[in-house]
């Protein structure tokens, strides 16, 4: 039996994205265990609710933290103690430490890049720091898995033994039927003609929420409502910006939400102005809900959304472009329906079952 260790910087990565893949690997006869840091309740739930074996290591998101040296030493000891055959790494820090430890202990090493920190339009600092590091680490990688076309082309120029492109981590497309479509209108007392926009994501700078709030303010349309699902360090600042522009009645901050499916089904359009993505699960879920999309024209988003077929793509920092796109969809219900139907068909190839087959072929070739 092949013994595999999943290495992630955070427990939330496993909880949010990797459980279906762990189950798939187990069905293929692999023994799978995990190593990650604790960021909240996720680690306990992985053990108690999902029955996973999880080792807590002091990984830090900052690559400059000295605690990562301790994490590396503990990881090497764990690999030797548990005698793993393959190390499957995720996230930048987990990917770096995992590959270094895997190579030192003689294991096969897989790294899944969920979005390189260097990309078209990235700050020069990212290219100066992260690109050389990834070139070096790719030499220690038996299989480098990418999830969007831009990263795949970049990875082919690196030194990994093998490079692959898969359709992200996958989504359960069959779970997104419209069971609940009026929850937002009922809860917030909205009118039938009000136009509901939904965005989902952590409240951090790269998700670009501030630009959306400013765009809604400039539009001055009382029928346009923006719902923001997510929590994060910018929550206080975004609430302050909402109050400053007198948008309390039109911008609704929902916090962390588990009922994203209901929210997607209840909105008129999904809007996603992110500055940096790998291949967004939130965006894929919106497509599975047959929603039209307004998204930034960036890596990952352009893999999923075809301009004027599944939605409207806008330059990431073009506030007026978002205003125009919102107005276009608000005024054309038939266009919204056409975009939504197109997305629901396209997303089928990103279904979790299809993605699992892609991974299965990769494991067999290892």
* Chain-centre distance for alpha carbon 149: 15
* pLDDT score recorded for residue 179: 59
Q: Is 103 helix (H, G, I), strand (E, B) or coil?
A: helix
* pLDDT score recorded for residue 1: 81
Please state the rounded mean pLDDT for residues 44-55. 96
CATH number at residue 359: 3.40.50.2000
Closest CA to 358 of 173, 160, 170, 91: 170
Separation CA 42–CA 36 (nearest Å): 11
Please state the rounded mean pLDDT for residues 87-104. 97
Higher pLDDT, 260 or 70: 70
Please state the rounded mean pLDDT for residues 152-170. 97
- Tell me, yes or no, whether 342 and 358 share the same domain: no
- Tell me, yes or no, whether 223 and 120 share the same domain: no
- In tens, the pLDDT along 203-242 reads 999 999 999 999 999 999 999 999 999 999 999 999 999 9
Please state the rounded mean pLDDT for residues 108-132. 95
- Domain total in the chain: 2
Please state the rounded mean pLDDT for residues 128-155. 97
- Tell me, yes or no, whether 87 and 206 share the same domain: no
Closest CA to 74 of 47, 108, 105, 50: 105
- Tell me, yes or no, whether 243 and 156 share the same domain: no
Closest CA to 112 of 170, 41, 53, 59: 170
pLDDT at 185 over 90: no
The conformational region for residue 296 under phi > 0 = left, psi -120 to 50 = alpha, else beta, is beta
- Tell me, yes or no, whether 199 and 89 share the same domain: no
Please state the rounded mean pLDDT for residues 183-192. 85
Please state the rounded mean pLDDT for residues 270-286. 97
- Tell me, yes or no, whether 243 and 345 share the same domain: yes
Please state the rounded mean pLDDT for residues 341-349. 97
Banded model confidence at residue 258, pLDDT cuts 50, 70, 90: confident
* pLDDT score recorded for residue 361: 93
Q: Which of 242-246, 258-262, 307-311 shows the lowest mean pLDDT across its residues?
A: 258-262
Contacts of 195 (CB under 8 A, 6+ apart): 221, 223, 224, 225, 268, 269, 326, 329, 330
b/e code 302-338 from CB counts within 10 Å (16+ = b):
bbbbeeeebbbbbebebbebbbbbbeebbeeeeebee
pLDDT at 183 over 80: no
39-45 long-range CB contacts below 8 Å, 24 or more apart?
Answer: 39/10, 39/11, 39/12, 40/11, 40/12, 42/10, 42/11, 42/12, 42/14, 42/15, 43/11, 45/15
- Tell me, yes or no, whether 216 and 150 share the same domain: no
* pLDDT score recorded for residue 85: 97
Banded model confidence at residue 178, pLDDT cuts 50, 70, 90: low
- pTM of the entire predicted model: 0.93
- In tens, the pLDDT along 189-213 reads 898 899 999 999 999 999 999 999 9
- Tell me, yes or no, whether 150 and 178 share the same domain: no
* pLDDT score recorded for residue 188: 86
Banded model confidence at residue 180, pLDDT cuts 50, 70, 90: low
- Tell me, yes or no, whether 237 and 355 share the same domain: no
pLDDT at 181 over 90: no
Do 310 and 268 meet the contact criterion of CB atoms below 8 Å apart?
no
What is the residue range of 180's domain? 173-350
Separation CA 226–CA 305 (nearest Å): 20
Give just the sign of the alpha carbon dihedral 254, 258, 261, 266.
negative
Separation CA 278–CA 122 (nearest Å): 13
* pLDDT score recorded for residue 363: 86
Whole-number average pLDDT of the chain: 95
Banded model confidence at residue 317, pLDDT cuts 50, 70, 90: very high
* pLDDT score recorded for residue 260: 86
- Tell me, yes or no, whether 219 and 285 share the same domain: yes
- Tell me, yes or no, whether 78 and 8 share the same domain: yes
pLDDT at 366 over 80: no
- Tell me, yes or no, whether 219 and 116 share the same domain: no
CA angle 40, 272, 337 (to 5 degrees): 125
The secondary structure of 160-178 as a DSSP string is -S-EEE--TT-B-GGG---
């Amino acid at each position: 039996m092949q013994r595999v260790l999943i290495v992630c910087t955070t427990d939330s990565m496993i909880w949010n994205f990797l459980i279906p893949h762990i189950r798939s690997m187990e069905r293929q006869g692999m023994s799978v265990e995990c190593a990650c840091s604790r960021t909240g309740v996720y680690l306990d739930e992985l053990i108690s609710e999902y029955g996973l074996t999880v080792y807590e290591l002091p990984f830090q998101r900052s690559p400059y933290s000295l605690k990562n040296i301790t994490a590396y030493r503990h990881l090497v000891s764990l690999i030797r103690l548990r005698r793993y055959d393959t190390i499957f790494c995720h996230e930048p820090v987990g990917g770096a430490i995992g590959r270094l430890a895997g190579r030192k202990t003689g294991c096969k090493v897989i790294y899944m890049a969920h979005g390189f920190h260097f990309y078209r339009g990235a700050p020069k600092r990212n290219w100066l720091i992260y690109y050389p590091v990834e070139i070096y680490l790719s030499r220690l990688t038996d299989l480098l898995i990418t999830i969007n076309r831009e990263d795949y082309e970049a990875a082919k120029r690196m030194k990994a033994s093998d490079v692959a492109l898969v359709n992200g981590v996958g989504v359960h497309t069959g779970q997104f039927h419209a069971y609940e479509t009026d929850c937002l209108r009922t809860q917030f007392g909205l009118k039938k003609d009000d136009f509901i926009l939904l965005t989902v994501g952590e409240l951090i700078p790269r998700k670009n929420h501030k630009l959306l709030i400013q765009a809604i303010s400039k539009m001055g349309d009382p029928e346009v409502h923006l719902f923001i699902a997510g929590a994060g360090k910018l929550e206080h600042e975004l609430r302050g910006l909402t109050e400053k522009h007198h948008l309390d009645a039109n911008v609704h901050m929902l916090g962390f939400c588990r009922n994203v499916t209901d929210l997607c089904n209840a909105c008129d359009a999904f809007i996603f102005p992110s500055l940096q993505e790998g291949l967004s699960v939130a965006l894929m879920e919106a497509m599975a809900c047959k929603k039209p999309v307004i998204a930034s024209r960036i890596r990952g988003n352009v893999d999923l959304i075809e301009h004027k077929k599944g939605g409207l793509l806008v330059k990431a920092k073009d506030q007026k472009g978002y205003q125009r796109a919102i107005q276009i969809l608000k005024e054309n219900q038939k266009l919204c329906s056409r975009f939504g139907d197109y997305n629901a068909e396209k997303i089928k190839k990103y279904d979790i079952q299809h993605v699992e087959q892609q991974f299965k072929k990769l494991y067999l070739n290892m």
